[in-house]
C-alpha cells in the first residue's frame, strides 16, 4: 500500500452527547478517499465522461502529474485556482490535481462573462485560471481588470490571442511524473470555493472543507443506495453542486459515475444506454421534458434499467409517468439544502413523506423554526429555518473574505437560511424563498447582480429585477425599469443588449418601462408588489416577440 493510502483520517469522537440514533461519520478528505479507491483496485472504472472512461489509478496518476507542474508554478497550500471549463475529464484532473497540493479549486459557471466573471475571479484572488479555448476571449476582454491573475492555462495548443496575461497550453502541464504524492490536507482544510448566487448582494464564496465534501458523498449513498454494479449518472455541469454530489458519491464510496457533457432530449435514452446508468440526478424541466417526449427504441431497451431518479422539482404527475412509463422503481424528489449545508433534509428510499415535504432533518444537523427574534415557534407554524451541525466540518466554513457576512448569517449559535418553512413530526415543509431569490432554468440567479448590469445601460435610470407571480417552481424573470429623461429605448433593444451582457439563463423574459418604481417611505423598492402585479397589460414579452436565448459559446 502506498504511503498516501496508509495515511488514514482520524476517527470521529465517541463522547459527543447527541441522541442515541445518531452516529457521527468519519473524518475524511478527498485525497484519502481517492487513495483508498486506488489501493482497493487501481484498474476499477471511476468515471465515464460522455464516453471518455478513466480508472481510479489513471485519474490519480494524471492528477499527480498536474499537481507537480502546478507546484512548479508556485501553487501551494491555500492558493486558489479558478476554472471555466465545460464538462470533460480535465475538470476532474484539475480538481484533484489542485487539491493534492492543498490548494483550493474555484469552479465558475461557464455561462458567466463580463462583471459576473470578473467579480468571482478577483474575489477569489486566484493567480492561475484554467479554461476551454472558446472562453479565452472572455479573459482577454477582462485582462486589465484581473490584477492577481498571472497565467491562463488553455485546453488547446494555440495559437492564442494577444493578451496582457500570459496564456499557455494546459496539456503541457498534464505530462510528467504521475507517481504518488504525500497527502498534505486534513479534513478541515478547504477543498473549494463555491459561489452563491448573491441574492441580496454580490455573490459570496462558500468555503467548503474536504470533510464537508466527503460527507456529501456519504449522504449521497444513503439517499441513493447502490451496489458495485450500479452507475451514477447526470447531464448536469461539473461546476454545479448537484453534479459534484454525484462525483462525490462515487469517489467516497469507490463507485462508478457517468457525467454527460449536456442534456439532450432527442438522445436522452441513447445517452442513458451508452452510459450504463442505473440511477440519475436531474433538475427542473428535465423531468417533465423526458416524461412527455415521444417513445424511442432506446427508451424501450432501457425500460427498468434506470432504477432510480432524484432531484427537484418533480410533480406527482411527472413522478407517476416515470414510474409507469419507464419502469423506474424509486423516484425521489425530497430534499432541502443550500451551498452552505447540503442535504439538510432528505427522505430515505422507501419512505413516503407527505406530498410537499422536503424530507426529514439529516443526521448531521439540528434544525429549528424561529420567529424574527430567533425564538422557537410552535410545531407546524411557519417561521425562519435555522440549523447547525452536530459534528465538525459538515457544512461550509463561512463566506470567503467576508467575516461580517458570516457573522450576520450565523448568529445566536444557529445558521440562518433566509428561507421559511415549518416542521411537523420531524418533516420539513418548505414555505417560501429568500426575499429576492430567483431560480430559472435550474440556476440560482441574483437579482442584485442583474440589476447592476442593467444600470450600466446609459438609458436606464432605475431598475428592479424580480419574478412574476407566485414563486413555486421555476421563475420567469421580469425587468421593471425607469428610463432616463429624454432617453429613447425600446424593450426589444434592451432585451438584445441584455443577451450580450448576461448568462443565457438570466436574460429576462419580460420587460416593462414605468414612470417610477413602487417604493416604501424610505425609498426601498417593494419587489413583492411588483411580483404580485406580474405581467401587466404594458409588459413586453420576449417569447411573444420571437426572441430565442441559447447558451453562448
- Give domain status of residue 509, yes or no: yes
- Give domain status of residue 68, yes or no: yes
Same domain, yes or no, for 374 and 500? no
Same domain, yes or no, for 494 and 527? yes
Is the full-model pTM beyond 0.85? no
- Give domain status of residue 341, yes or no: no
- Give domain status of residue 517, yes or no: yes
Same domain, yes or no, for 305 and 381? no
Are the CB atoms for 100 and 76 separated by under 8 Å? no
Q: Grid coordinates standing for 217? A: 458523498
Predicted local confidence at residue 317, as pLDDT = 76
Single residue among 190, 209, 228 that ends a domain in this structure: 209
Are the CB atoms for 114 and 453 separated by under 8 Å? yes
Predicted local confidence at residue 19, as pLDDT = 41
Of 344, 347, 356, residue with least CA distance to 414: 344
- The boundaries of the domain holding residue 529 are 438-541
Q: What CATH number does the domain containing 369 carry? A: 2.30.38.10
Same domain, yes or no, for 279 and 201? no
- Give domain status of residue 452, yes or no: yes
Predicted local confidence at residue 20, as pLDDT = 46
Same domain, yes or no, for 76 and 141? yes
Of 340, 387, 381, 390, residue with least CA distance to 368: 387
Alpha-carbon torsion, ordered 285, 288, 290, 295, to 10 deg: -150
Same domain, yes or no, for 198 and 238? no
Total domains in the chain come to: 4
Same domain, yes or no, for 368 and 445? no
Same domain, yes or no, for 307 and 158? no
Please state, as a whole number, how many other Cβ atoms lie within 10 Å of the Cβ of residue 269.
Answer: 22
Q: Which residues fall within 8 angstroms of residue 242, CB to CB, at 6 or more apart? A: 234, 236, 281, 283, 311
Q: Grid coordinates standing for 543? A: 417569447
Distance CA 442, CA 235 (A): 12
Predicted local confidence at residue 41, as pLDDT = 97
Q: Which residues of the chain have pLDDT under 70?
A: 1-24, 197-201, 332-334, 355, 432-437, 444, 469-473, 520-524, 552-553
- Give domain status of residue 415, yes or no: yes
Same domain, yes or no, for 82 and 112? yes
Single residue among 432, 454, 470 that ends a domain in this structure: 432
Distance CA 307, CA 314 (A): 16
Are the CB atoms for 215 and 364 separated by under 8 Å? yes
Rounded to the nearest 10 degrees, the angle between the axes of helix 30-40 and helix 56-72 is 140
Same domain, yes or no, for 376 and 446? no
Predicted local confidence at residue 22, as pLDDT = 58
Q: What is the CA angle 73-78-80, rounded to 5?
A: 65
Predicted local confidence at residue 333, as pLDDT = 61
Same domain, yes or no, for 450 and 427? no
Same domain, yes or no, for 443 and 401? no
Q: What CATH number does the domain containing 316 carry? A: 3.40.50.980
Q: What CATH number does the domain containing 456 carry? A: 3.30.300.30
- Give domain status of residue 21, yes or no: no
Single residue among 183, 209, 235 that ends a domain in this structure: 209
- Give domain status of residue 422, yes or no: yes
Amino acid at each position: 500500500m502506498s504511503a498516501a493510502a496508509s495515511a488514514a483520517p482520524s476517527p470521529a469522537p465517541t463522547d459527543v452527547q447527541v441522541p442515541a440514533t445518531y452516529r457521527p461519520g468519519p473524518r475524511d478528505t478527498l485525497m484519502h478517499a481517492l487513495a483508498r479507491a486506488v489501493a482497493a483496485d487501481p484498474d476499477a472504472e471511476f468515471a465515464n465522461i460522455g464516453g471518455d472512461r478513466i480508472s481510479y489509478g489513471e485519474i490519480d496518476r494524471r492528477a499527480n502529474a498536474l499537481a507537480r507542474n502546478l507546484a512548479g508554478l508556485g501553487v501551494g497550500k491555500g492558493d486558489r485556482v479558478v476554472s471555466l471549463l465545460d464538462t470533460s475529464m480535465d475538470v476532474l484532473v484539475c480538481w484533484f490535481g489542485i487539491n493534492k497540493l492543498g490548494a483550493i479549486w474555484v469552479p465558475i459557471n461557464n455561462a458567466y462573462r463580463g462583471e459576473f466573471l470578473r467579480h468571482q475571479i478577483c474575489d477569489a484572488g486566484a493567480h492561475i485560471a484554467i479554461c476551454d479555448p472558446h472562453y479565452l476571449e472572455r479573459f482577454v476582454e477582462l485582462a486589465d481588470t484581473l490584477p492577481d491573475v498571472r497565467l491562463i492555462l488553455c485546453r488547446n495548443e494555440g495559437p492564442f490571442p494577444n493578451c496582457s496575461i500570459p496564456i499557455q497550453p494546459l496539456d503541457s502541464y498534464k505530462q510528467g511524473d504521475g507517481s504518488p504524492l504525500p497527502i498534505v490536507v486534513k479534513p478541515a482544510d478547504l477543498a473549494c470555493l463555491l459561489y452563491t448566487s448573491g441574492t441580496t448582494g454580490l455573490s459570496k464564496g462558500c468555503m467548503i472543507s474536504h470533510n464537508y465534501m466527503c460527507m456529501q458523498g456519504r449522504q449521497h449513498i444513503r439517499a441513493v443506495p447502490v451496489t458495485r454494479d450500479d452507475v451514477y449518472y447526470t447531464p448536469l455541469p461539473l461546476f454545479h453542486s448537484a453534479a459534484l454530489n454525484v462525483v462525490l458519491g462515487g469517489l467516497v464510496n469507490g463507485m462508478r459515475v457517468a457525467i454527460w457533457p449536456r442534456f439532450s432530449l432527442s438522445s436522452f435514452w441513447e445517452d442513458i444506454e451508452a452510459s450504463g446508468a442505473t440511477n440519475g440526478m436531474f433538475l427542473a424541466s428535465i423531468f417533465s421534458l423526458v416524461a412527455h417526449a415521444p417513445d424511442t427504441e432506446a427508451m424501450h431497451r432501457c425500460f427498468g434499467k434506470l432504477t432510480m431518479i432524484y432531484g427537484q422539482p418533480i410533480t406527482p404527475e411527472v413522478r407517476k409517468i416515470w414510474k409507469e412509463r419507464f419502469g423506474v422503481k424509486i423516484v425521489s424528489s425530497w430534499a432541502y439544502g443550500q451551498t452552505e449545508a447540503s442535504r439538510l433534509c432528505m427522505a430515505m428510499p422507501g419512505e413516503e413523506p407527505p406530498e410537499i415535504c422536503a424530507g426529514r432533518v439529516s443526521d448531521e444537523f439540528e434544525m429549528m423554526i424561529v420567529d424574527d427574534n430567533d425564538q422557537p415557534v410552535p410545531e407546524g407554524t411557519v417561521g425562519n429555518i435555522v440549523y447547525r451541525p452536530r459534528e465538525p466540518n459538515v457544512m461550509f466554513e463561512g463566506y470567503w473574505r467576508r467575516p461580517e457576512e458570516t457573522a450576520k448569517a450565523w448568529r445566536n449559535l444557529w445558521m440562518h437560511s433566509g428561507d421559511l418553512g415549518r416542521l411537523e413530526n420531524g418533516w420539513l415543509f418548505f414555505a417560501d424563498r429568500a426575499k429576492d431569490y430567483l431560480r430559472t432554468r435550474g440556476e440560482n440567479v441574483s437579482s442584485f447582480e442583474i440589476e447592476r448590469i442593467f444600470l450600466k445601460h446609459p438609458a436606464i435610470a432605475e431598475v428592479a429585477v424580480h419574478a412574476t407571480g407566485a414563486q413555486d417552481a421555476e421563475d420567469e424573470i421580469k425587468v421593471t425599469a425607469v428610463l432616463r429623461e429624454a432617453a429613447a429605448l425600446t424593450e426589444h433593444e434592451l432585451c438584445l443588449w441584455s443577451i450580450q451582457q448576461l448568462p443565457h439563463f438570466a436574460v429576462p423574459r419580460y420587460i416593462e418601462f414605468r414612470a417610477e418604481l413602487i417604493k416604501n417611505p424610505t425609498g426601498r423598492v417593494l419587489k413583492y408588489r411588483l411580483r404580485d402585479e406580474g405581467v401587466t397589460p404594458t409588459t413586453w414579452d420576449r417569447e411573444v416577440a420571437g426572441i430565442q436565448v441559447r447558451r453562448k459559446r
